[in-house]
């Protein structure tokens, strides 16, 4: 899930005229629904009420936006605002305004608390949540009905369902995308589902932020995946380490997948192909997983060009209930504010009701450790290596131990 706003330099044609430059990620999947349309409409409404401020928005694909902002900052031309995937490196380098220097008390208090907390570096919030999503288990209702099975609530039931689906000829009984595109997400969801309510654990780190990738729970989780799913031929013809999330989603939309972890954008993708699907909370080792994985994309404001007051006024407008809801509804994502979340939860509109299962997971969701400047390096290592943990002859313990060593070294270097 991602998007970037680029608000770069400040041009002035008079003492009160300011141009804010925003770089934003594109959440659309075609020119017809590009995020550029959302920002053009929002900026037009804002500028109509603020004659002294112009906002120039540049929208880039998620493949390019983070790198584009990095290039701009390195060249000494930071945007005023960027909405991208990570903020911690810029915060640690002293390049960002704290959120409290920008936002009204009302706006800052409206953010969902766990998202605001995730936006903190060194106990100060620099990352401003922009869009969120959670994961649930999607299942193909048609394939389940033909197989005479019901959605699972435990790992044992999931494996049993997958076995029946395999016997019925389903190509991917349960898709396990551990390929390099987004393996860090699939990995974290399984880590969370393997951590019981009585044993704690929160994915990649413990409660105080120390990496625990090679914990006994995580080793047990990947051993189960290797032995009980992959080893029994229940994950399809493509090795998990080579199966990317986009390909798994496309296969689900083509009716070839029985079950997989998915985020809200899969709804529209499946509906376009006419797939009858349902969603349930992610199964856990002995019952429903205690937490779902959450993902948040971030807005941040760079100090280089000044204009904190103008930037803050614009952001207060961006985060109004109406604008947050409009964006969330346009792109099938979850609101990051309490007011917009309540409005969506109370809505009976079909499009909003489709997001309710994901919204229900948000309050207890666990996010990536994005406040750690080491996270980018750790995520890259997970993407490249985690598939080996479930490969034939692979060792979950050895792979997770290597990843833990990488994380510990990256953390030490970052500090």
State whether 28 and 41 are in the same domain: yes
CA dihedral 83, 84, 88, 94 (to 10 degrees): -50
CA dihedral 82, 85, 90, 92 (to 10 degrees): 150
State whether 51 and 182 are in the same domain: no
- Checking if the pLDDT of 414 tops 80, the result is no
State whether 172 and 320 are in the same domain: no
* Contacts of residue 15, Cβ cutoff 8 Å, sequence gap at least 6: none
- Checking if the pLDDT of 104 tops 50, the result is yes
The token duo for 163 is 């076995």
DSSP state of 319: T
Unique residue bearing structure tokens 């960027």: 82
Quick one: pLDDT at residue 168? 98
Per the CB < 8 A criterion, the answer to whether 284 and 217 are in contact is no
Distances in Å between the alpha carbon of 280 and those of 150, 284, 299, 356? 11, 12, 31, 11
State whether 178 and 157 are in the same domain: yes
Quick one: pLDDT at residue 11? 36
DSSP 351-364: HHHHHHHHHHHGGG
State whether 315 and 266 are in the same domain: no
Quick one: pLDDT at residue 12? 35
Model pLDDT for residues 51-74, shown as the tens digit of each residue: 899 999 999 998 899 999 999 999
Model pLDDT for residues 304-362, shown as the tens digit of each residue: 999 999 999 999 999 999 999 999 999 989 999 999 999 999 999 999 999 999 999 89
State whether 362 and 401 are in the same domain: no
Alpha helices in 319-391 (DSSP H): 321-331, 338-346, 350-361, 375-385
Q: How many CB atoms lie within 10 A of CB 113?
A: 10
State whether 211 and 351 are in the same domain: no
State whether 76 and 193 are in the same domain: no
State whether 332 and 348 are in the same domain: yes
Model pLDDT for residues 10-44, shown as the tens digit of each residue: 333 334 589 999 999 999 877 888 999 999 999 99
CA–chain centroid gap for 255, Å, is 25
Domain count, the chain: 2
State whether 26 and 108 are in the same domain: yes
State whether 141 and 246 are in the same domain: yes
Helices (H) and strands (E) in the chain, counts: 17, 13
Quick one: pLDDT at residue 207? 84
Model pLDDT for residues 118-159, shown as the tens digit of each residue: 999 999 999 999 999 999 999 999 999 999 999 999 999 999
Quick one: pLDDT at residue 115? 94
What's the CATH code of the domain at 20? 3.40.190.10
Domain span including residue 45: 5-133+294-367
Quick one: pLDDT at residue 203? 87
- Checking if the pLDDT of 205 tops 70, the result is yes
The token duo for 28 is 């659309």
Model pLDDT for residues 245-254, shown as the tens digit of each residue: 999 999 999 9
State whether 159 and 267 are in the same domain: yes
Per the CB < 8 A criterion, the answer to whether 367 and 294 are in contact is yes
Cα–Cα distance between 26 and 317 in angstroms, integer? Answer: 20
């Amino acid at each position: 899930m991602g998007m970037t706003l680029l608000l770069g330099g400040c041009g002035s044609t008079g003492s009160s005229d300011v141009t804010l430059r925003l770089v934003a990620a594109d959440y659309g999947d075609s020119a017809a629904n590009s995020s550029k349309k959302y920002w053009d409409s929002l900026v037009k409404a804002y500028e109509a009420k603020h004659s002294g401020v112009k906002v120039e928005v540049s929208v880039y694909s998620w493949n390019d936006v983070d790198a584009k902002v990095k290039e701009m900052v390195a060249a000494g031309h930071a945007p005023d605002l960027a909405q991208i995937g990570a903020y911690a490196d810029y915060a640690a380098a002293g390049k960002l305004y704290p959120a409290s220097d920008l936002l009204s008390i009302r706006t800052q208090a409206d953010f969902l608390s766990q998202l605001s907390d995730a936006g903190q570096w060194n106990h100060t919030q620099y990352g401003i949540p922009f869009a969120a999503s959670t994961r649930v288990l999607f299942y193909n209702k048609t394939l389940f009905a033909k197989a005479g099975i019901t959605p699972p609530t435990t790992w044992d039931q999931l494996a049993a369902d997958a076995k029946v689906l395999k016997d019925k000829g389903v190509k991917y009984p349960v898709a396990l995308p551990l390929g390099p595109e987004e393996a860090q997400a699939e990995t974290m969801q399984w880590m969370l589902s393997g951590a019981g309510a009585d044993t704690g654990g929160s994915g990649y780190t413990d409660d105080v932020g120390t990496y625990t990738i090679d914990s006994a729970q995580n080793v047990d989780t990947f051993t189960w995946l290797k032995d009980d799913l992959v080893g029994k031929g229940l994950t399809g013809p493509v090795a998990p380490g080579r199966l990317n999330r986009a390909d798994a989603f496309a296969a689900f939309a083509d009716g070839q997948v029985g079950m997989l972890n998915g985020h809200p954008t899969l709804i529209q993708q499946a509906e376009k192909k006419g797939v009858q699907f349902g969603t349930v909370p992610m199964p856990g080792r002995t019952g429903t997983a205690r937490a779902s994985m959450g993902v948040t994309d971030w807005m941040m404001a760079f100090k280089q060009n000044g204009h904190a007051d103008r930037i803050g006024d614009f952001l207060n407008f961006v985060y109004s209930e109406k604008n947050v809801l409009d964006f969330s509804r346009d792109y099938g994502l979850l609101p990051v504010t309490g007011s917009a979340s309540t409005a969506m939860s109370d809505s009976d509109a079909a499009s909003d009701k489709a997001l309710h299962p994901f919204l229900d997971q948000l309050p207890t969701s666990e996010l990536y450790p994005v406040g750690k400047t080491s996270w980018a390096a750790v995520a890259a290592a997970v993407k490249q290596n985690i598939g080996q943990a479930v490969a034939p002859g692979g060792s979950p313990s050895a792979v997770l131990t290597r990843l833990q060593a990488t994380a510990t070294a990256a953390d030490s270097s970052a500090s």
